[in-house]
Amino acid sequence: MPATFINAFLVLLGSAVGLLFRGKIPQRFTQLITYGLGLCVLIIGVDAALEGSDTLCVIVCMVVGTILGEALDIERRMDAAGDFLKAHLAGRGEGNSRFTEGFVNASVLFCVGAMAINGSLEAGLNHDWSILVSKGVIDGVTSISFAATMGVGVAFSVLPLVVYQGGLTLLASAVGPYLSPELVTEMSAVGGCVIVGIAVNMLGVGKERIRVGNMLPAIFLPAAYLPLARFLSGLF
């Protein structure tokens, strides 16, 4: 939970800066900062990925999880859910459309994503705040540009942010004691690979954007891989 509150505080701080300097912040500054943060996210992802002790587990889970996520088209469904919220909530805010636009757009952006899910799991399972705090910095920078263009509604996006991320963190904390240290380590390692994908997108590397949302099932697959691997090793 503390990491989520830090994330929320940074969004509020960024929103305040955006409102204070509304119309005065060049786009090139926020873009350059995003690239710098992308490098930091890359380091976090690589560090988490290297913590795993079973490389084959990471490879198998990433491959199978990505195939499963692609078959389910998770990222498209996440985008569709965001578009649904935007369309229905924004339609009700005609009297204050700019406020509603800022609130809905920021809420969807800050809550829907692999970093929010993986960061909440890390905070709940390993008490590791680094991913959520890094996400908070990214959200804070983003909220500057959002608030500068869409107003104070961006600041109110911290309400669904706290409920969503905080709920995931508390759930992971409740389940954590029942998971083996080996399983938690391998889940973190697979999650680190997913975080690297987020960093690649932030840096704009490659011709196409990586559909990171479709990789999310991979994070949970070590729970099936490790018992199966032990069973097969016992046979041979």
Overall average pLDDT of the 82-106 stretch: 63
The answer to whether 132 and 123 are in contact (CB under 8 A) is yes
Indicate if the pLDDT at residue 104 is higher than 90. no
Mean pLDDT of the chain: 84
Instruction: Please state the length of the chain.
Output: 236
Give 72 or 101, the one with higher predicted confidence: 72
pLDDT at 2: 87
pLDDT confidence of residue 108? 67
Higher pLDDT, 220 or 207: 220
Average pLDDT over residues 175-195: 86
Q: Give tens-digit pLDDT for 42-61.
A: 888 898 888 888 999 999 99
Would you state the pLDDT for residue 222?
93
pTM: 0.73
CA atoms of 222 and 217, how far apart (whole Å): 10
> What pLDDT does residue 7 have?
93
DSSP state of 152: G
Average pLDDT (161-177) is: 89
CA distances (Å), 51 to each of 46, 185, 213, 230, in order?
9, 7, 22, 20
Asked if 184 and 125 touch (Cβ cutoff 8 Å), the reply is yes
